[in-house]
Amino acid sequence: MTDRVSTLARNLLFAAAAVVSLLLDQWTKILARTHLRPLGPWGSKTIVANYFDLRYSENTGVAFGMGQGLPAGRILLTLVALAALGLVGYYLKRSGPRQFRLHLALGLVAGGAVGNLVDRIVFGRVSDFIVWHVGRHEWPAFNIADAALVVGVALMALDMMLEKRGQAAPSPAPPDPASNKES
């Protein structure tokens, strides 16, 4: 592939991941606000008994309900999201044209950040509705944007580890012509 085609592929993969995660996030949040919010704070819909429920909650903090009630949280978290988007753009521009896993990861991070940013700007809080639990142990509620962020960051970490491993692997030494002499 030429560099121009590779750059186009990079940008398309990034944009597709960002747009799909953003649209899926916003669509599912609309559904959650429409169908789950009327159930009230204790109402939920069981999807898989003892493992997976849908339950509407609102989060003024960061992902997974952390940082609730931060002073000036809305402004601070909006600035953090904008800074994260700036870093995503920086890394996308610096990435190689064939680092497809990284481009996908950056797209997921961008889509997730924008998804929660839209909620924070429009509603002043983020809508969460996915609840995983095992028996009585329950993880904090989250949404598709949070999942996209986590998967994107995990893919970025995987990409860094694999890149580091590739750089650390010693290249095989060329054969020694003297060792091929016949005795």
Name which of 48, 59, 62, 54 is nearest 125 in CA terms. 59
Whether 44 and 50 have beta carbons less than 8 Å apart is answered as no
DSSP code for 139: P
Catalytic option among 53, 119, 128, 159: 128
**Gap between the Cα atoms of 179 and 144, Å rounded:** 60
Catalytic residue flag (residue 128): yes
At 29, list the tokens: 């949040």
Catalytic option among 3, 146, 159, 176: 146
**Gap between the Cα atoms of 91 and 139, Å rounded:** 31
Q: Give, in order, the Cα–Cα distances in Å from 23 to each of 109, 115, 148.
A: 13, 8, 12
> Which SS3 state, helix, strand or coil, does residue 42 take?
coil
Residues with a catalytic annotation lie at 128, 146
